[in-house]
Amino acid sequence: MVEPFADLLKESAIFINRDALSPHFMPDHLLFRDKQIASIVKALTPSLKGERGRNLFIYGKTGTGKTSSVKYVIEEVKKLATVKAKISYINCRIYNSRYRVLSKIISDHLPNYAKRGYGLVDIYERLMSWIEEDGKVLIVVLDEIDIVKDLDDLIYTMTRANSDIKTGGITIVGVSNKISFKEDLDPRSLSTLYETELVFPPYNSNELLAILQQRSALGIKPNIVEPAALNLAAAIAARESGDARFALKIISRAAEYADEKKLTKISAKDVEEASKSAEEEIAYELVSTLPEHQKLVIYAIALLTLQGGRYKKLMEGGETYLFSGEVYDKYSAISNGLSKEPKSSRWYRKYISDLQMQGLINTYESGKGIRGHTKLIKLAYSPEKIKFTVEKGLFKEEEAAAKEEEKGE
């Protein structure tokens, strides 16, 4: 065997199971989420009995265990013999339009029909018929629901379906990082929701430490990770909004570095080094999953940063700060160029606030030397990487949307 491949394929001196450090890994017990899991089960119980229950909306910042808890409940439900409901779990990062969501549901439960490539109306009517066949309840879990581009249409279609169905029904479980996402919905969609809400709090430092200890024991060989390293990773993640995903990524990255360098221990210094690249990686992942118009706003900021703004704050090393107004103008021009209606300045200000809250940009109120009173904006990460991340997803989405439009007609 060629030597480089032999090195790659030999047994790791660090890892037992790399997957155990992934945020997608499902341990036998989810720590500190028993209360939330019980609330999900309680909310879904009427639907599981075949009755029309209330829709459920689950909120919480990234890395607070929302998806893991929902998936845990789904797996437990599958073990029950008497359930009178069918479940579709849908990742809205991938299935980000009404057509894609309905097609995924059909693919989950009527795969032969799904292969025929029907349009939106045909898919909807077939779905209604399938539910009415035996009066079943369909539970649709929409993870990262706020990413769906035509969310108003999707919610209105799914909630109004209950009026068209004679027996059975549809229950929506929406999962979102943003508790305010419903503010974007049309009043007609909001009026049909009839929902229960559940908020997941961030993990504190002690909880994150326990999670890291649990996962490290499953994923890394004994006596490799120093206690100080786990403590530091937990503290860093607690400082960054209590994100368990971030904590796990830090330890995973530190373990990878240790493996590459053939180290026998993972120290606090290794964790400190790993946290920087882990933070950047999560930031670019976050950008790729932003709602469409937030994505266009940060794209405008990246382009203007690369071009140079109108104002340089020279006393801070010549870093580029952008006028809020010039960012809005650039965002509007990009939207128009993509045949999209730019949102109003009121919505734009909300997007800027959301991007700042997520740590992707920094904003400052203008001081002396600038005429009038305005907000200055600075990108928190590499503009080249932000530009690449947005473009990579944006043009694929445009192409896919055009194809879906043809199918839906």
Place of tokens 């390293």: 229
Tokens representing residue 300 in the block: 């405008």
Bridge pairing between strands 320-323 and 375-379: antiparallel
Question: Domain 3-18+203-287 - what CATH class?
Answer: mainly alpha
Cβ-based neighbours of 331, under 8 Å, separated by 6 or more:
293, 296, 297, 299, 300, 342, 348
CATH 3.40.50.300 in the chain, residue ranges: 34-199
| Residue 321: count of CB within 10 angstroms of its CB | 21
For residues 57 and 44, give the distance between their C-alpha atoms in angstroms, rounded to a whole number. 11
pLDDT tens digits in sequence order for the chain, 409 residues long: 455 555 555 678 899 999 999 999 999 999 999 999 999 999 999 999 999 889 999 999 889 999 999 999 999 999 988 888 999 999 998 899 999 999 999 999 998 887 777 899 999 999 999 999 999 999 999 999 988 989 999 999 999 898 889 899 999 999 998 877 787 788 877 877 878 999 999 999 999 999 999 999 999 999 999 999 999 999 999 998 899 999 999 999 999 999 999 999 999 999 999 999 999 998 998 898 888 899 999 999 999 999 876 655 433 555 678 999 999 999 999 999 999 999 999 999 999 998 998 889 999 887 655 555 678 999 999 999 999 999 987 766 655 555 555 555 5
CATH 1.10.10.10 in the chain, residue ranges: 292-408
φ, ψ at 271 (rounded to 5°):
-65, -40
Question: Domain 292-408 - what CATH class?
Answer: mainly alpha
For residues 245 and 243, give the distance between their C-alpha atoms in angstroms, rounded to a whole number. 5
Contact in structure between 87 and 44 (CB atoms under 8 Å): no
Q: How is residue 181 annotated by DSSP?
A: G
Tokens representing residue 157 in the block: 């279609």
For residues 139 and 127, give the distance between their C-alpha atoms in angstroms, rounded to a whole number. 13
For residues 350 and 111, give the distance between their C-alpha atoms in angstroms, rounded to a whole number. 41
Contact in structure between 109 and 87 (CB atoms under 8 Å): no
Q: Give the full edge-to-edge strand order of the sheet including 195-199.
A: 85-91, 137-143, 169-176, 55-59, 195-199
Fold of 34-199: Rossmann fold (3.40.50)
Q: H-type helices in 25-97, by residue range?
A: 34-48, 66-78
Task: Tell me which residue of 142, 148, 155 sits closest to 291, measured CA to CA.
Answer: 148
Cβ-based neighbours of 17, under 8 Å, separated by 6 or more:
218, 219
